[in-house]
Structure 1
Amino acid sequence: MKRFNKAVKYGVVLAATVAAPAFATGSGGIDVSGAVALIGGITAAVTAVGAAKLAPAATSVAFKWVKGAIFS
């Protein structure tokens, strides 16, 4: 049964690999410039949120290390 499952898995992967190029034909692909521009526009906001979440965590860890160094 394990061999059969392995054969089915390889067969599915092979079929997907062979079938995928059929969808790649066309006039050049999908235009993703709008999505790229949108992601580029929110980069500053995502960076600010990341810094706002990371700063308290880093402060907490630093405080824990200093406290451990003092009271050990």
Structure 2
Amino acid sequence: MFYDRAISADSHITEPPNCYIDYIDPKFRDRAPTIVNDPKYGDVYVIEGLARPVPMGLIAAAGKDPKTL
């Protein structure tokens, strides 16, 4: 049977901003990814070990034109 709409088998989820604070083991909270607001890039993830923050727009951009990010 052929389905009338496709469902991506390679979809990704974006964690809610509070998940690394509310649900991570307390002993790791000081190293957990955090979200801060950057004046230029908006909300960004700050992740230990990465040289630069990761803009949320690059993580949660499914269906958006790359030129708008």
* TM-score bracket relative to the smaller structure: under 0.3
TM-score of the two chains, using structure 2 as the length reference: 0.21
Question: Where is the helix percentage greater, Structure 1 or Structure 2?
Answer: 1
TM-score of the two chains, using structure 1 as the length reference: 0.21
Which of 1 and 2 has greater Rg? Answer: 1
Question: Where is the strand percentage greater, Structure 1 or Structure 2?
Answer: 2
Greater relative contact order: 1 or 2 (C-alpha under 8 angstroms, separation 6 or more)? 2
